[in-house]
Structure formats: structure tokens, C-alpha cells
């Protein structure tokens, strides 16, 4: 069954941790767009959701940092963040170990992916799920690209990972959705938190919506760091989603710079299925 | 400088409730398991968020370490700014400060742009 859904969205902790600090109208529009994304995923009849995230040291550290990892368990815990900080209750989220294993075996044909039979979610997965699957009733397959501890996964390999995920998902009987989460430009958890390069973000999203592989892969890490900050390294997840789109075009359903959330809050979808 | 060791301890504290419990009960014993300089150990114990930031602790680790110590978000940002003023720019890693007008001024600018549209 071909991949039934492919999208990307922001995961900034401020979205749930500090909602009152954002412009009310913008916040409500973002929440609506995120909830609609959940409705759209359910409308495809998805039986599992691969979440390609840029995790922040919940599971992986510089003692053994994988370029790519996929979870392989029947359930996951999260978020690791204090409930009082993130304002998301810690919970158990369903997984699907057998499906994970099949996907990992598929991805391994072309990409050397690490697998993990335990995985703690952080805000990178927990914030989107809070809106998209608030009842935690859709099995999740967590996947990660190293966007945090340099040397980072090269963009062209993030593309290869997205292609491998698509091929592996298409080969399954189950209806599978894929969601990439990450920021575009941001300087998170620094004194510059809130800084956003909105022009750079627009240009990136334009390349993403056109699914212009060459343009998406043309950024160097030095350029990303200069123009998009250390948070900009997370474009790797968007790049993987574009690759999973297999040449389809994307739609930017919502994108607004929200300083209180420290990102251009974004909800975007790749049209993976021709109707 | 053993930034790796400082970050490893914070990583364990952030993700593992048992490490947090041990740290609350027998902090010195936990600290002794990591190869830390006196400056690093003192910065962790205080905790001196500004100095930890300047030493190069990744913000994704540091913000949770601050939350663990019940340090409110604006206070967390202020402590990093204080650290920069006192100790100079970040010494290692990719979390250097680059300068920013601040959320309130930025919000006001965006609002003005929205109203013009």
C-alpha cells in the first residue's frame, strides 16, 4: 500500500509550554492547522504514523550517536520534559513492533539505520502528537536524524533516508502516514530564543513545496548555522519528508513567524497520492 | 575542559528519573562519577546557568536542566545573558549567542507588518 500521507510541522516546545505569550489569533490559527493535520491523517485511514524527528538528547548522546535511528517497540514513553514545563502529561504512546521491524529491514537495504527497542519521546514528537493524535490512538514509529550533535547527518543522506522510508512504507500491507517535525530557522534555548529568519524560512519552504531536490540539498552546514541558527539544522527532517514525497509537490498550509514559540510555526503537506 | 562530561551528566539527569532521585539524595557521589573540573562541578551545583551556557552546554540540554531546578523561562534566558556579560562569549559548541532584538520588540514589528498587509 503506497504511503497514504506525508507532511511536516514544527515541534517547538513553546507551542505548548508558553501558549499565552503568542499573539492569540496566530496561536489559534496554528492550533487549528495542527488539529486539521490530525484530521487529514485520520481521513486517509492510516494504521501507523512514522514520525521523523530531530530529537534533543532524550535517547541519543555523543557516546554513540546514530546518523539515523528507528524505534522498534510496542509502546513508547514521553515526554521526558517536566510536565510543568511542557504542559503535556507524561503518557504511554502505542507503537507497532512488528511493523517497525519490517520498515527497518526495508530501510536497511539502502541506509544504515540504527534501531532502538526503547525510545523516550521529547518535545520533538510529543508537541505535534498533542494536537495530531490527542487520544494517542494511532501507533507511532519514531525515527530520528541527528540534527543536534555535530558532525551531523549530511543533507543528501537525509534525502536518502526519506527515500528509503518511502520504499519501505510502500512495501507494507498497512496504510502508513509519515510526518517530519522540526524547526526551520531558530536559535532555541539561547539568549536569542525568539529570533527567526522569516525570509530564509520562506525560501526554504518554497524549495520544499516545489520539491526541488537540488535546491534543498544545496545548503552547507555553515550557511544553515549563519542564516538559520543551530535550530536550522533540523531542516534535515523536512528534507527527508520531501524525498518521501517521491517528486510530489507540497502545500504550505500554515506558516507564520511566532517569536514566543521561537520558530516560523509551520504545517505543510506533500501530495503523495494522486487522486 | 570536559564539556562532554558535563553534558553527559545533564543528559542522564534530564532523561532518567532514577538519576534525578540519586542526584537529589547523594549529589556528590553522582558528580564523582564524571570527570569534571572544579569550575564545572561548582557551576553544576549552584547551578550557574550562565557559566554552563558559556562553557558550551548545548541549549537543548541546558533548558531542561534549568527546568529541573524550577528556573522559569525568562529567568533562564536572563541567566544566560548574565553569563555572557560576566564570562564572555560561548567557548565551545554551536550554541553561541548572535544578538536579537527580543521577543517583545520582534512581536511589535511583526504586528505592524501584519497590519500593513
Q: What are phi and psi of B110, to 5 degrees?
A: -65, -40
Check residue B34 and report its DSSP letter.
S
Identify the three-state secondary structure at position A152: coil
Looking at residue B114, what is its pLDDT?
A: 85
Cell of A11: 515541534
Q: What is the mean pLDDT of residues A171-176?
A: 97
Chain B contact set for A17 (CB, 8 A): 73
Interchain proximity B97–A257, CB inside 8 Å: no
Q: Please name the member of B4, B97, B106 whose beta carbon is closest to the beta carbon of A191.
A: B97
By percentage, how much of chain B surpasses pLDDT 90?
93
A 22-81 → B contacts, CB under 8 A: 23, 56-59, 61-63, 80-81
Q: How far apart are CA A24 and CA A213, in angstroms?
A: 36
Identify the three-state secondary structure at position B89: coil
pLDDT digits (tens, 9 = 90+) for A177-192: 999 999 999 999 999 9
Q: Please name the member of A63, A120, A195 whose beta carbon is closest to the beta carbon of B15.
A: A120
Listing DSSP states for A48-72 in one string gives: EEEEEE---SSS--TTS--SEEEE-
Task: Tell me which fold the domain B3-116 belongs to.
Answer: Protocatechuate 4,5-dioxygenase; Chain A (1.10.700)
The model's confidence at residue B1, banded by pLDDT at 50, 70 and 90, is low
Is the confidence at residue A16, as pLDDT, over 90? yes
For testing contact with chain B, the best of A191, A232, A260 (most B CBs within 10 A)? A191
Looking at residue A272, what is its pLDDT?
A: 87
By percentage, how much of chain A surpasses pLDDT 70?
99
Chain A contact set for B94 (CB, 8 A): 150, 225, 230
Rounded to 5°, angle at Cα B8 from B7 and B10: 65
Q: What are phi and psi of A149, to 5 degrees?
A: -110, 100
Instruction: State yes or no: ipTM above 0.90.
Output: yes
Instruction: Answer whether B43's CB lies under 8 Å from B51's CB.
Output: yes
Q: Please name the member of A148, A189, A260 whose beta carbon is closest to the beta carbon of B103.
A: A260
Q: How far apart are CA B39 and CA B54, in angstroms?
A: 12
User: Counting beta carbons within 10 angstroms of the beta carbon of residue A112, is it exposed (0 to 12), middle (13 to 18) or buried (19 or more)?
Assistant: exposed
Kindly give the pairing relationship between strand A250-258 and strand A263-270. antiparallel
Listing DSSP states for A210-253 in one string gives: HT-HHHHT---HHHHHHHHTGGGGGHHHHHHHHHHTTT--EEEE
Task: Tell me which fold the domain A5-218+231-256 belongs to.
Answer: Protocatechuate 4,5-dioxygenase; Chain B (3.40.830)
Looking at residue B117, what is its pLDDT?
A: 81
Query: If you count residue pairs, one on A and one on B, with CB atoms under 8 Å apart, how many are there?
Result: 91
pLDDT digits (tens, 9 = 90+) for A64-98: 999 999 999 999 999 999 899 999 999 999 999 99
Identify the three-state secondary structure at position A74: coil
The model's confidence at residue B44, banded by pLDDT at 50, 70 and 90, is very high
By percentage, how much of chain B surpasses pLDDT 70?
99
Q: Please name the member of A23, A81, A148 whose beta carbon is closest to the beta carbon of B107.
A: A23
Q: What is the mean pLDDT of chain A?
A: 97
Task: State how far residue A148 is from chain B, nearest Cα, in angstroms.
Answer: 9
Interchain proximity A80–B14, CB inside 8 Å: yes
Q: Which residues of B sit within 8 Å Cβ distance of A?
A: 4, 7-8, 11, 14-15, 53, 58-64, 67-68, 73, 77, 80-81, 84, 94-103, 106-107, 110-111
pLDDT digits (tens, 9 = 90+) for A189-239: 999 999 999 999 999 999 999 999 999 999 999 999 999 999 999 999 999
Task: State how far residue A101 is from chain B, nearest Cα, in angstroms.
Answer: 25
The model's confidence at residue B101, banded by pLDDT at 50, 70 and 90, is very high
The model's confidence at residue A115, banded by pLDDT at 50, 70 and 90, is very high
Lowest mean pLDDT segment, chosen from A150-154, A264-268, B112-116: B112-116
The model's confidence at residue B5, banded by pLDDT at 50, 70 and 90, is very high
**Residue ranges per domain, chain B?**
3-116
Taking CA atoms, A263 is separated from A180, B59, B64, in Å, by 15, 15, 19
Segment (H or E) for A170? helix A155-170
By percentage, how much of chain A surpasses pLDDT 90?
98
Interchain proximity A62–B98, CB inside 8 Å: no
End-to-end, the C-alpha distance of chain A in Å comes to 15
Residue of B nearest to A191 (CA): B77
Identify the three-state secondary structure at position A195: coil
**C-alpha closest to that of A243 among A72, A3, A49, A1:** A3
Chain A contact set for B61 (CB, 8 A): 56-57
Looking at residue A274, what is its pLDDT?
A: 47
Amino acid at each position: 500500500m503506497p504511503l497514504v500521507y506525508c507532511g511536516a510541522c514544527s515541534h517547538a516546545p513553546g507551542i505548548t509550554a508558553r501558549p499565552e505569550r503568542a499573539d492569540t489569533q496566530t496561536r489559534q490559527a496554528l492550533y487549528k492547522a495542527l488539529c486539521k493535520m490530525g484530521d487529514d491523517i485520520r481521513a486517509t485511514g492510516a494504521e501507523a504514523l512514522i514520525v521523523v524527528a530531530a530529537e534533543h538528547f532524550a535517547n541519543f548522546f555523543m557516546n554513540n550517536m546514530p546518523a539515523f535511528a528507528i524505534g522498534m517497540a510496542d509502546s513508547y514513553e514521553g515526554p521526558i520534559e517536566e510536565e510543568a514545563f511542557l504542559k503535556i502529561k507524561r503518557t504511554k504512546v502505542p507503537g507497532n513492533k512488528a511493523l517497525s521491524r519490517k520498515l527497518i529491514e526495508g530501510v536497511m537495504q539502502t541506509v544504515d539505520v540504527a534501531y532502538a527497542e526503547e525510545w523516550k519521546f521529547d518535545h520533538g514528537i510529543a508537541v505535534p502528537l498533542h494536537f495530531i493524535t490527542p487520544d494517542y490512538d494511532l501507533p507511532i514509529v519514531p525515527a530520528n536524524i541527528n540534527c543536534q550533535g555535530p558532525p551531523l547527518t549530511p543533507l543528501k543522506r537525509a534525502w536518502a533516508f526519506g527515500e528509503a522510508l518511502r520504499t519501505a512504507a510502500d512495501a507494507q500491507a498497512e496504510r502508513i502516514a509519515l510526518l517530519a517535525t522540526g524547526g526551520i530557522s531558530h536559535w532555541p534555548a539561547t539568549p536569542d530564543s525568539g529570533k527567526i529568519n522569516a525570509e530564509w524560512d520562506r525560501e526554504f519552504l518554497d524549495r520544499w513545496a516545489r520539491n526541488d531536490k537540488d535546491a534543498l540539498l544545496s545548503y552547507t552546514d555553515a550557511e544553515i548555522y549563519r542564516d538559520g541558527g543551530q535550530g536550522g539544522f533540523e531542516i534535515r527532517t523536512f528534507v527527508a519528508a520531501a524525498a518521501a514525497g517521491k517528486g510530489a509537490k507540497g502545500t504550505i498550509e500554515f506558516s507564520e513567524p511566532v517569536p514566543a514559540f521561537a520558530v516560523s510555526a509551520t504545517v505543510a503537506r506533500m501530495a503523495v497520492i494522486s487522486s | 575542559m570536559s564539556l562532554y562530561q558535563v553534558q553527559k551528566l545533564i543528559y542522564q539527569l534530564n532523561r532518567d528519573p532514577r538519576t534525578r532521585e540519586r542526584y537529589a539524595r547523594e549529589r556528590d557521589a553522582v558528580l564523582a562519577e564524571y570527570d569534571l573540573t572544579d569550575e564545572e562541578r561548582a557551576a553544576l551545583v549552584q547551578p550557574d546557568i550562565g557559566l554552563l551556557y558559556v562553557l558550551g552546554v548545548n541549549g537543548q540540554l541546558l533548558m531542561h536542566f534549568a527546568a529541573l531546578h524550577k528556573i522559569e523561562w525568562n529567568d533562564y534566558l536572563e541567566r544566560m545573558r548574565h553569563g555572557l556579560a560576566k564570562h564572555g562569549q560561548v567557548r565551545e559548541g554551536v550554541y553561541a549567542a548572535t544578538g536579537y532584538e527580543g521577543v517583545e520588540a520582534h512581536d511589535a514589528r511583526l504586528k505592524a507588518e501584519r497590519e500593513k498587509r
